[in-house]
Amino acid sequence: MGFDCARPFRLSPGDSIMIHGILNGWGWLGPLQTYLNWTNGCIAVNNEQMREIWSLVPNGTPITIQE
């Protein structure tokens, strides 16, 4: 849950919000996983997209999530 979504409910948005691919063994889901909100505030991408992000963005790069 992002900060703006959590604030009205006086909830914590969490502290482990990440960008990640699909769990090992579930890669066959591919783009289907983008139709469901199955994470707890994280940004879910397919494994191909995750590899592209890794190749373009250095570790430790700050990321801002906006609606």
Please check whether residue 48 lies inside any domain of the structure: yes
Please check whether residue 5 lies inside any domain of the structure: no
Q: Describe the chain by its helix, strand, coil percentages, rounded to 5.
A: 40, 5, 55
Please check whether residue 28 lies inside any domain of the structure: yes
Q: For the beta carbon of residue 22, count every other beta carbon within 10 angstroms.
A: 19
Please check whether residue 41 lies inside any domain of the structure: yes
Per-residue confidence band for 57, with pLDDT thresholds at 50, 70 and 90: very high
What average pLDDT score do residues 15-21 get?
A: 77
What is residue 1's predicted lDDT score, i.e. its pLDDT?
42
Please check whether residue 12 lies inside any domain of the structure: no
Number of domains in the chain: 1
Please check whether residue 32 lies inside any domain of the structure: yes
Which residues form the domain of 39? 17-62
